[in-house]
Chain A
């Protein structure tokens, strides 16, 4: 690493200086115009009719009553009779009307008949002995890379291990490349074993099973062993500005779209194919975003449909901002992740063995496996993970996908182990810091610096706070990394 000496604090131009946000005055005065706030002349309000069932087949769609309502200007089906729906809130019909009340009335007037199918929405611990998972579908691969931002290396190893259920011919590979699937994944697809999709109806799929070193021997040699179940439930992004967009055809060849997104430059490319016009004919605009948190990378089906409704309404602007309830159902969730973990060490704190059986759900696609054990590469380990296909809205990226869950599980297990060892967890982490790999020295320096700044040694106490009253205090620690795209921190 290059040596660099910071200038003295009083000479620094930015660090340590109070800098006020450039868009602060607009935001504090309510003048900042978010996508939700944009109104254009002649703008129509769009609404989406959603399936109330977690799993169903659409039998019939009747929009005739809605069509007859004065003020309704466009109706677009988002699915067709015969199609299966996999989570509550999925879109069936979209419509646009002169004002929001009329659009709501029209949405209520749409008649949809469903065949309700059995659904599954539990992420409790799966039964033991789940068989090895079937081949990956194209949708799962797209979801992992484009939506959940699973690192390419992880996707490649799943493809190698599980094979795929579709023929990756050149046309399909070109489409995937265009969609943004990276080359190593395409290369893995070219070599992948192709087998027909799984025929079992089980929601459980074992997606990762791996052994390193000699875990049984290492546990036998361990003087202290700690066991526990750790994890985090599915949580939703809950951006205060819900997802949504407004599209208008400024002429028969060109679209202007206002959209709430973290990926403004990617929006024209995403809309081009479904609208059948070149990306260069689509102008995407956004002045401010009311939160994204990883859930706003795509134009989404509701964004596309604003443009389709606009076309039917002679190019008039059509705006759809999701209602809060819909946003919670369909616009993003972080997968759950739980694990039964056993860890073993010598009395002096030397970490020897790790065993974990994990599970979690990221919606109907199952979701990815958190990288366990996280950061600390325990020499002897046995681990497996079971993905659960739940009838809930799909997972989306959320701050280093799968990493916070992995950190929670690993670091909680290691905290519990240090408590059993009667060790200060900081001493325990420093004792085993070489297991963090090439960045061990940096982690050690960071931990020591943080301990100094927060006065760790003075504040930390063993578990159990004798202070009277219901408020108890304690300190814990955790270390993190990110192996995703964007910088070169991926392991070896």
Chain B
């Protein structure tokens, strides 16, 4: 977090994370104060950056590359990725922080990109499903999803893949219960959860050694 964003109310800066309070402040002020571009304003005892309301230059670091565009401050990170940068792996499904199809990593943490403004994602390290791997160099989690048919229509799959990658960062050898809990923020309409659990277990077991196609152990059908 850079200095000009630091809260000046004496609270400890929360590195790598937008607090709910900051988010509300930014949203509330941007909607009511007619300013062009970013500037600092005192609100609720803190200095917060204010943008807009018209289009402002926004720069995002996504998958190690810097993307720039002129977008309105009300645009979500999800819509900026999809509409301005054509990174359409993250999907718009519920658009209200419920289903997880828009999950991306912000400074390594899984975030619903539909519920974060693009302006608030600046100066952070964003990783989308595209950044994990491509069709010819699949990430072990992507590989495991393919191997275990953890997808049907596939619309929720990118969100699940990103959430699983984040889960395995926190729990390299998760128990089935940890998998269920770690992925409970993602919904699948086709009902591929059994495959998703098996994929998470396979990816956990093969994160160092590449997986053997088709060799799936421990993907027990607990509710099939």
Residues of A that sit less than 8 Å from B by CB: 18, 20-21, 23-34, 36-37, 39, 99-101, 238-242, 288-291, 293, 321, 323-324
A-B contact pairs, 5 of them (CB 8 A): A21-B149, A28-B154, A29-B142, A323-B95, A324-B96
List residues of chain A with CB within 8 A of the CB of B155: 34, 239-241, 290-291
Report yes or no: B95 in contact with A28, Cβ–Cβ below 8 A. Answer: no
Give A99 to B54 CA distance when docked, in angstroms: 13
B 173-218 contacts with A by CB, 8 A = 187-190, 213-214, 216
Name the residue of chain B whose CB is nearest to the CB of A32: B154
Name the residue of chain A whose CB is nearest to the CB of B154: A27
Report yes or no: A30 in contact with B72, Cβ–Cβ below 8 A. Answer: no
* 6 further interface pairs, Cβ-Cβ under 8 Å (given A30-B89, A34-B155): A25-B146, A28-B158, A34-B91, A239-B189, A241-B93, A241-B153
Q: How far is the CB of A376 from chain B (nearest CB, A)?
A: 27
Contact of B74 among A21, A101, A288 (CB under 8 A): A101
Report yes or no: B89 in contact with A29, Cβ–Cβ below 8 A. Answer: yes
Name the residue of chain B whose CB is nearest to the CB of A26: B135
Give A32 to B151 CA distance when docked, in angstroms: 13
Q: A-side binding surface: helix, strand, loop or mixed? A: loop
Contact of B189 among A27, A32, A291 (CB under 8 A): A291
Report yes or no: A28 in contact with B79, Cβ–Cβ below 8 A. Answer: no
- Across the A-B interface, the 4 shortest Cβ-Cβ residue pairs: A30-B89, A290-B155, A27-B154, A30-B129
B 152-167 contacts with A by CB, 8 A = 153-158, 161
List residues of chain B with CB within 8 A of the CB of A291: 153, 155, 189-190
Q: How far is the CB of B163 from chain A (nearest CB, A)?
A: 13
Report yes or no: A28 in contact with B157, Cβ–Cβ below 8 A. Answer: yes
Q: How far is the CB of B180 from chain A (nearest CB, A)?
A: 16
A29-B133 contact, Cβ under 8 Å, with A288-B154, A290-B153, A291-B189? yes
Give A26 to B151 CA distance when docked, in angstroms: 11
Flag whether B1 is at the interface (Cβ < 8 A). Answer: no
Report yes or no: B130 in contact with A30, Cβ–Cβ below 8 A. Answer: yes
Report yes or no: B157 in contact with A27, Cβ–Cβ below 8 A. Answer: yes
Give A351 to B85 CA distance when docked, in angstroms: 65
Name the residue of chain A whose CB is nearest to the CB of B149: A21
Residues of B that sit less than 8 Å from A by CB: 72, 74-75, 79, 82-83, 86-96, 99, 101, 128-130, 132-136, 138, 142-143, 145-147, 149, 151, 153-158, 161, 187-190, 213-214, 216
List residues of chain B with CB within 8 A of the CB of A321: 92
Name the residue of chain A whose CB is nearest to the CB of B88: A37
Report yes or no: A29 in contact with B151, Cβ–Cβ below 8 A. Answer: no
List residues of chain B with CB within 8 A of the CB of A288: 153-154
Name the residue of chain A whose CB is nearest to the CB of B157: A27
Give A321 to B83 CA distance when docked, in angstroms: 13
Max count, chain A CB within 10 A of own CB: residue among B90, B130, B155, B189: B155
Report yes or no: A20 in contact with B149, Cβ–Cβ below 8 A. Answer: yes
List residues of chain A with CB within 8 A of the CB of B74: 101
Report yes or no: B135 in contact with A101, Cβ–Cβ below 8 A. Answer: no
List residues of chain B with CB within 8 A of the CB of A238: 189
A28-B146 contact, Cβ under 8 Å, with A99-B83, A240-B91? yes
Name the residue of chain A whose CB is nearest to the CB of B94: A324
List residues of chain B with CB within 8 A of the CB of A27: 151, 154, 157-158
A29-B91 contact, Cβ under 8 Å, with A240-B153, A241-B153? no
Report yes or no: A240 in contact with B101, Cβ–Cβ below 8 A. Answer: yes
List residues of chain B with CB within 8 A of the CB of A36: 88, 91-92
Q: How far is the CB of B131 from chain A (nearest CB, A)?
A: 9
Report yes or no: A30 in contact with B99, Cβ–Cβ below 8 A. Answer: no
Give A99 to B82 CA distance when docked, in angstroms: 12
Report yes or no: A29 in contact with B130, Cβ–Cβ below 8 A. Answer: yes
List residues of chain A with CB within 8 A of the CB of B88: 30, 33-34, 36-37, 39
Name the residue of chain B whose CB is nearest to the CB of A238: B189
List residues of chain A with CB within 8 A of the CB of B92: 36, 321
Report yes or no: A25 in contact with B149, Cβ–Cβ below 8 A. Answer: no
List residues of chain A with CB within 8 A of the CB of B145: 24, 28
Give A68 to B190 CA distance when docked, in angstroms: 44
Name the residue of chain A whose CB is nearest to the CB of B158: A30
Max count, chain B CB within 10 A of own CB: residue among A240, A241, A289: A240
Max count, chain A CB within 10 A of own CB: residue among B86, B143, B154: B154
Contact of A31 among B91, B99, B134 (CB under 8 A): B134
List residues of chain B with CB within 8 A of the CB of A33: 88
Q: How far is the CB of B132 from chain A (nearest CB, A)?
A: 8
Q: How far is the CB of A254 from chain B (nearest CB, A)?
A: 26
List residues of chain A with CB within 8 A of the CB of B86: 39
Q: How far is the CB of B189 from chain A (nearest CB, A)?
A: 5
Give A242 to B189 CA distance when docked, in angstroms: 12
Q: How far is the CB of A131 from chain B (nearest CB, A)?
A: 41
Report yes or no: B130 in contact with A324, Cβ–Cβ below 8 A. Answer: no
Name the residue of chain B whose CB is nearest to the CB of A324: B94
Give A293 to B187 CA distance when docked, in angstroms: 16
Contact of A100 among B83, B129, B133, B134 (CB under 8 A): B83
List residues of chain B with CB within 8 A of the CB of A24: 145-146, 149, 151
Max count, chain A CB within 10 A of own CB: residue among B134, B188, B189: B189
A101-B129 contact, Cβ under 8 Å, with A23-B154, A324-B95? no
List residues of chain B with CB within 8 A of the CB of A32: 154
Name the residue of chain B whose CB is nearest to the CB of A27: B154
Q: How far is the CB of B122 from chain A (nearest CB, A)?
A: 19
Contact of A37 among B82, B134, B142, B149 (CB under 8 A): B82
